[in-house]
Amino acid sequence: MIEDNSGFELKCDHVGLKRWIDTMVRMCKPDKLEWIDGSEEQKQRLVREAATAGEVTILNQEKLPGCLYHRTSVDDVARTEELTFICTARLEDAGPTNNWMSPDEGYRRAGEIFKGSMRGRTMYVIPFSMGPIGSPFSKIGIELTDSIYVVLNMLIMTRVGKRVLDHLGSDGEFTRCLHGTADRNIHKRLILHFPQDNTIWSVGSGYGGNVLLGKKCLSLRIASYIAEKEGWMAEHMFILGIEEPDGRISYVSGAFPSACGKTNLAMLVPPEGLKEKGYRIWTVSDDIAWMRIDTDGALWATNPEVGIFGVVPGTNLKTNLNAMKTIGKNTIYTNTLLKLDGTVWWEGGDEPPPSNGVDWKGMPWKPGTTDDNGVPVFGAHPNSRFTAPLSQCPTASFRLDQPHGVQISAILFGGRRAYLTPLVYQSFDWPHGVYVGATMHSERTAAQRGKVGEIRWDPMAMIPFCGYNMADYFGHWLSVGRKLDHQPSIFHINWFRQDENGDYLWPGFGENLRVMEWILSRCRGEVEAVETPIGYVPRPEDIDMTGLELPEGAMEKLLEVDNEAWLEEFKVHKKVLDKFGDRLPEELWRQHEKFGERLNR
Residue 585 CA to residue 581 CA, distance in Å, equals 10
CA-to-CA separations, 436 to 252, 459, 597, in angstroms, rounded = 17, 8, 16
Q: With CB cut-offs between 5 and 8 Å by kind, which of ligand GTP, Mn ion, ligand SPV, none does residue 208 bind?
A: ligand SPV
Nearest distance from C-beta of residue 349 to Mn ion, angstroms: 21
| Angle at CA of residue 257, ends 71 and 233, nearest 5° | 110
| Residue-by-residue DSSP string for 460-527 | GG-TTT--S-HHHHHHHHHHHHHH-SBPPEEEEE-S--B-TTS-BSS--GGGGHHHHHHHHHHHTT-S
Q: Which stretch binds ligand GTP (CB under 6 A): 34-42, 140-148, 211-219, 506-514?
A: 506-514
Nearest distance from C-beta of residue 462 to ligand GTP, angstroms: 11
Nearer to ligand GTP, 188 or 216 (CB): 216
By CB under 5 A, name the one of 235, 287, 517, 569 that touches Mn ion.
287
Q: With CB cut-offs between 5 and 8 Å by kind, which of ligand SPV, Mn ion, ligand GTP, none does residue 310 bind?
A: ligand GTP
Is 260 a binding residue for ligand GTP by CB under 6 A? The answer is yes
Among residue numbers 249 through 278, which ones bind ligand SPV (CB under 6 A)?
A: 258
By CB under 6 A, name the one of 214, 310, 422, 481 that touches ligand GTP.
310
By CB under 6 A, name the one of 30, 131, 195, 208 that touches ligand SPV.
208
By CB under 6 A, name the one of 139, 216, 441, 476 that touches ligand SPV.
216
Nearest distance from C-beta of residue 152 to ligand SPV, angstroms: 15
Is 79 a binding residue for ligand SPV by CB under 6 A? The answer is yes
Q: Which stretch binds ligand GTP (CB under 6 A): 74-82, 262-270, 289-297, 481-489?
A: 262-270
What's the longest Cα–Cα distance across the chain? Answer: 74
Listed residue (595, 594, 592, 597) closest to 577, CA to CA: 592
The answer to whether 570 touches 596, Cβ cutoff 8 Å, is yes
Is 414 a binding residue for ligand GTP by CB under 6 A? The answer is no
By CB under 6 A, name the one of 170, 278, 366, 504 that touches ligand GTP.
504
Nearest distance from C-beta of residue 498 to ligand GTP, angstroms: 10
Residue 196 CA to residue 107 CA, distance in Å, equals 13
Residue 576 CA to residue 442 CA, distance in Å, equals 14
Residue 93 CA to residue 192 CA, distance in Å, equals 15
Q: With CB cut-offs between 5 and 8 Å by kind, which of Mn ion, ligand SPV, ligand GTP, none does residue 216 bind?
A: ligand SPV
Q: Which stretch binds ligand SPV (CB under 6 A): 184-192, 208-216, 269-277, 362-370?
A: 208-216
Is 458 a binding residue for ligand GTP by CB under 6 A? The answer is no
Is 305 a binding residue for Mn ion by CB under 5 A? The answer is no
Listed residue (130, 139, 131) closest to 402, CA to CA: 131
The answer to whether 182 touches 152, Cβ cutoff 8 Å, is no
Beta-sheet pairing, 364-365 with 299-302:
unpaired
Residue 29 CA to residue 597 CA, distance in Å, equals 63
Task: Tell me the residue number closest to ligand SPV, measured at CB.
Answer: 209
Nearer to Mn ion, 287 or 443 (CB): 287
- Binding to ligand GTP by CB under 6 A, coded x per residue (else -) over 428-447, reads -------------------x
Beta-sheet pairing, 122-130 with 32-35:
parallel
Nearer to ligand SPV, 153 or 591 (CB): 153
Active site annotation includes 67:
no
Q: Of 12, 177, 260, 466, which one is the catalytic site residue? A: 260
Nearer to ligand SPV, 122 or 210 (CB): 210
By CB under 6 A, name the one of 180, 313, 405, 535 that touches ligand GTP.
313
User: Looking at residue 221, what DSSP letter applies?
Assistant: I
Question: Half-sphere exposure of 56 toward its Cβ, with a 13 Å CA cutoff?
Answer: 27
By CB under 6 A, name the one of 447, 462, 463, 471 that touches ligand SPV.
447
Is 209 a binding residue for ligand SPV by CB under 6 A? The answer is yes
Is 311 a binding residue for ligand GTP by CB under 6 A? The answer is yes
Nearest distance from C-beta of residue 567 to ligand SPV, angstroms: 31
CA-to-CA separations, 272 to 109, 245, 396, 510, in angstroms, rounded = 56, 16, 21, 9
Amino acid at 191: I
Residue 229 CA to residue 203 CA, distance in Å, equals 28
Nearest distance from C-beta of residue 336 to ligand SPV, angstroms: 15
Beta-carbon contacts of residue 482 (< 8 Å; ≥ 6 apart): none
| Angle at CA of residue 207, ends 202 and 208, nearest 5° | 90
- Our measurement of the distance from residue 35's CA atom to the centroid of its chain's CA atoms, rounded to an integer in Å, reads 27
The answer to whether 287 touches 236, Cβ cutoff 8 Å, is yes
- Binding to ligand SPV by CB under 6 A, coded x per residue (else -) over 304-343, reads -----x----------------------------------
Site residues (vs ligand SPV, CB under 6 A): 79, 208-209, 215-216, 258, 287, 309, 447
* Residues that are catalytic: 260
